[in-house]
Structure 1
């Protein structure tokens, strides 16, 4: 097993990689000068950039402005990221555009609180990058005039994003507020594999050792986990096998609920609203089938087939169990969390058929993968240039630049015409691929304003196993996948109170039912409590939002 690098070693490696890439970026200046002359998608004849008189911004091509400008931005810095102001892509993009962005990159753990304090105080930046704005944030700060409407700017200064809206009408439906304004730009993803965000994987070597097939029903899955538990699958003479595990987000519920016909409109965190078989809106956490699913999970917990630490463990603890060869099955976007030595032991599990014949996989998000990724505030002195600056990352060339970096420095072209990361990123002995990429780009961790194209995604999302899982699960994903709706200010205020109480209660009781702390004899009492909390009002608010979505 490869020795884990210490924090100091990782920090040293990170600094060396950053210094080398920043220094080496000078060697790419001529390449990028040529790139700067290339158009983004949908921009014609970039070599002859046109001046837009009213703004002083070149309507097409690079540089964006003739005279250098500076824009202040704030955002959530993922733990995988190096300092944003030192990143290769932003330094080189500044040369291309004549736009220098000064980032206030706040650690993600405390970012939202700091951002909201800044917004409330009136001391906020000109734009938010990796903004992590919720639909409630957009409506709240948009209605106050703090976030400016982007509609006209998109129309005039964002040819790439405008083309996407024309090609994918559902994107506009998912980001437009009830007042008709667009207050933020999203992360978009053309790939099915990462949008099926947590797939179920199973240890094929263990299955072969027992002579078992990949399970296809929830009953078969239970019997397989039981077999993993009762046999010394890793051959170490200890009863230390963990049949199923995950991190504290507890992905087994959204990963299994489709087997009971629940979650028919896709995955949205902390939302328990979908449509039943007749297209009627329902709060499915009170449905009898939801009770059956919890009873199934309670059996897994009682018999030790589910990791007892799953409700509290962080991702590093989860990953450690995978890399130690202790795990029979787990939920994750791809297998690389199991480490390079073991990840090929795992194969995808199909959408498991439930007791009523349902076999839907509902842990899937829409093409608009993350809303609220970028916004411009009323403090912005250069909104036109800011819109042109961000629009590049919705083009094919911009997607490649953000994901891959600079040819010869962070990636290289292969003889067959494909591209791949340089070896010190792909096979770094001390940093994972995401950590190494996070030294030159912000894409690791997601929630970035961009269009993700499969041909430029060289992560675990495009592993053969991930593509196989997407192909396997794709036919069983919901036909109708809702976005995160934007509500009116009045609706949102009421919804904040309702969902805070109802979702908190649901998830507290969920844990109690599964662990046996609460008897299922109390189910009717549980349902009555939720009804008294105002679930009918909650459904009415969602119903109004859905009708607006259909009309947009």
Structure 2
């Protein structure tokens, strides 16, 4: 799920890690030099990625893919989604014309209902010892109701190292904080107040009107408007619910006081002239363009969504126009929970279809990928080229290597945009048996070297070493995230979610744009319509799933 992190991940070579891995009892087994040579003829399998757009490519056209082909004799021809996902998957199902490997993303239920994936249980037992070891704690969670495993989720955690750079929060331009002496901002009232004061002092930026606060409502990204209330109340991103830490009861918050409170604040911001009305009808590209312009003072978002704009601002070199995430809550004393605890998302993954020419070789390729030596290759790179090892065995990167591995062209040539996600792999916050993090962007020495002078200046102003120092550590939530519950299409719970989103799309913009007096009547009208929906069934289902997960039943 995190594009900011994924774009920074580059891998490492086989040469220096084999002996370490061979002695690691908690790590997937590795291959020796003889095993690294393919014993079978070269073969190419088709791989369709419906999760995101991209350039179609053969894996062996990249550095990582070529090395994996040398080990296994396998290449994948990757095709990416163009157009609507449901239309594309629907055509596949109607025709029965499937690729060898398929990532259906949000259309997973449709693919499973169509019987497009083969069961993987026996293949995993007989041909995938490394996957079985890495995914061992999660195997029961991966099973469908019939007891079969039909797809492999994209990540399985092995240890945990927190992210030094938060990926969610209420973002604010650094120049706003600088203007007022880097104050400590913790509440929503304080956040909007400082934005309002800055906009009044600087009505234009770069010759255009300053935008106080921006949101995103386009298509499926509507959650950018609906998610903030749970964060402001001190909860992490569990989706449409907040889960009580003591009772483990799930409560849908779309009709709750916290949602009303957030919408009322946006209504006030709009009536005071610093909420961007256009953001309620703008598309995603327009949203990115506004942020890239440097005119937007603040927004709530997840870093991966506005990563292209962040990169553009970094390239411009004006640090005052770049953003920092703040752990904003409604009330002082509320413990923020923006940083994610360890997660396992089982309702997304990669599957082998009924049309696959050789499922054994495909699963063997996946199994080879998750060895520690290849996870280091994929995520750190090649020793002496993309990383170094210090006297204490810690992986690090020079400034030149950081610059090199951050170059989008290098990432494509090396294969990180292909292999950084959407395959079986160690979780993003995992730790290798030698103590090094899987993700280079979690290594303190790499993180600190990657900071610009502007990064260091604002960290110094807030007496922090890394940006996550501003946030509270995450509490353990064994069920997290609740949004991965995998509610079946067409179920009462699914219908509730769809009708709720439709209702919110109708009323939330009206409430934000209304006069102060009209806000209350619109909220009452919204609640009247909401009460016609079956929220209780949805809440009971999520509560049951949460409690089952706590008891080890997925």
TM over 0.5: yes
User: 2:507 matched to which residue of 1?
Assistant: 509
Moved more, 312-321 or 460-469: 460-469
**Structure 1 spans left out of the alignment, 5+ residues:** 1-27, 49-60
Tell me if structure 1 keeps the 8 A contact 2:203–2:209: no
Change (3 A) 1:143 1:239: closer
Tell me, what secondary structure is at the counterpart of 1:243? strand
CA distance in 2, matches of 1:478, 1:259: 19
* Alignment-derived partner of residue 482 in structure 1: 481
Alignment of structure 1 residues 26-425 onto 2, 5 Å: 41-43=27-29, 46-47=32-33, 61-63=35-37, 65-76=39-50, 78-79=52-53, 81=55, 83-85=57-59, 86-103=61-78, 105-107=79-81, 109-128=83-102, 131-134=103-106, 137-138=108-109, 140-142=110-112, 144-166=114-136, 169=137, 171-172=138-139, 174-188=141-155, 190=160, 192-193=162-163, 197-211=167-181, 213-232=183-202, 240-248=209-217, 249=221, 251=224, 253-261=226-234, 264=235, 266-268=237-239, 271-272=240-241, 274-275=243-244, 278-314=247-283, 316-330=285-299, 331-333=301-303, 336=311, 338-340=313-315, 341-343=317-319, 346=322, 348-355=324-331, 357-362=333-338, 364=340, 366-368=342-344, 371-404=347-380, 411=386, 413=388, 418=395, 420=397
Any conservation in 2 of the 1:150–1:184 contact (CA below 8 Å)? yes
Mean CA deviation greater in 146-155 or 212-221 = 146-155
**Cα shift readout 1:62-120 (whole Å, capped 9, x = no counterpart):** 346534444332224845556245333223321221123333x1235445532331123
Distance apart, 1:215 and its partner CA:
0.9
Post-superposition offset of 1:32: 7.4
Describe the superposition over 1:170-194 as per-residue Cα deviations: whole angstroms up to 9, x where unpaired: x446533333332222232755439
- Distance in 1 (CA, whole Å) between partners of 2:132 and 2:335 is 37
Whole-angstrom CA distance in 2 between matches of 1:403 and 1:267: 28
Contact 1:217 / 1:353 at 8 angstroms: preserved in 2? Answer: yes
Indicate if the aligned counterparts of 2:255 and 2:527 stay in contact, CA closer than 8 A.
yes
Measured after TM superposition, the shift of residue 316 of structure 1 is 4.7
Aligned counterparts of 1:195 and 1:492: Cα–Cα separation in 2: 38
Report deviation, 1:197.
3.6
SS at the partner of 1:102?
strand
Equivalence for 1:443: 417
2:312 and 2:215 map into 1 onto residues whose CA distance is: 11
Q: Secondary structure at the match of 1:529?
A: helix
Change (3 A) 1:71 1:502: same
- Tell which has more relative contact order, 1 or 2 (C-alpha 8 A, sep 6+): 2
Determine helix, strand or coil for the equivalent of 1:391.
helix
Deviation, structure 1 residue 528? 2.9
Partner Cα distance (1:378, 1:148) in 2: 6
Q: 1:473 to 1:222 in 2, by over 3 A?
A: same
Change (3 A) 1:392 1:536: same
Identify if the C-alpha distance between structure 1 residues 111 and 176 changes in structure 2 by more than 3 Å, giving closer, same or farther.
Answer: same
Contact 1:256/1:361 (8 A) holds in 2: no
Aligned to 1:15: none
Q: State the TM-score, normalizing by the size of structure 1.
A: 0.74
| CA pair 351-32 structure 1, distance change in 2 beyond 3 A | closer
Distance of 1:39 and 1:386 partners within structure 2: 23
Instruction: Give the 3 Å change call, closer, same or farther, for CA 476–390 of structure 1 in structure 2.
Output: closer
Q: Which runs of 5+ in 2 are unaligned?
A: 1-11, 432-436, 460-464
Q: 1:157 to 1:515 in 2, by over 3 A?
A: farther
